[in-house]
Amino acid sequence: MNQIDQLKAVFTECGISAALEVVGERWSFLILRGAFNGLHHFEEFQSTLGIARNILSNRLTRLVEHGILRRDPDPDDRRKVAYRLTEKGRDLLPVLLSLRQWGERWVSGLPSNPVLVDRLGRRPIMVTVHAEDGRPLSLGDMEWVDRADLGKDAAA
């Protein structure tokens, strides 16, 4: 098995590397953040993010190819194209939110604006790591287990 095959194996066997292959390039996350914030059009992304037009074009195309965004031409104005999150894209919300939570806590220091709130309680939503029964967990409460031993352990 050569170097390339090894790399390829790494890329396909782990969910993290699989995900990064699709959304790991520079700007991808920021474009998605924009999409979650209600941006739809090329010019909106370009002017709010300040990204180079060729790169933006490239990323949007890639995100569409990977089924994360949909490209909807506007029937009323045929110059316009709306990029919208698919379900696959919307399902990246936990990634974006946890990244934001971390960035606010450890890098920028200050909570950013606007805040995503629960429509009912009108309190900020949160991302947590927890057990199936809902108990919140920290790293010390977890351990790595070979998948093959999972059922076995649970049964034991």
Partner DNA sequence: GCAAAGGGTTGCGTTATGAAACTCAGTGGG
Partner DNA sequence: CCCACTGAGTTTCATAACGCAACCCTTTGC
Report in angstroms how near the CB of residue 85 gets to a second copy at its nearest.
8
For a second copy, the closer of residues 78 and 154 by Cβ is: 154
Cβ contacts of 95 within 8 Å, gap of 6 or more: 19, 23, 29
Using the rule CB under 7 A, is 80 a contact of DNA? yes
Q: What are phi and psi of 92, to 5 degrees?
A: -85, -5
x/- letters, 36..65, toward DNA (CB under 7 A): -----xxxx-----xxxxxx-xx-x-----
Choose the one of DNA, a second copy, none that binds residue 117, judging by a C-beta under 5 to 8 angstroms depending on kind: a second copy
For DNA, the closer of residues 43 and 118 by Cβ is: 43
Query: String of b and e for 60-85 (b: at least 16 CB within 10 Å)?
Result: bebbeeeebbeeeeeeeeeeeeebeb
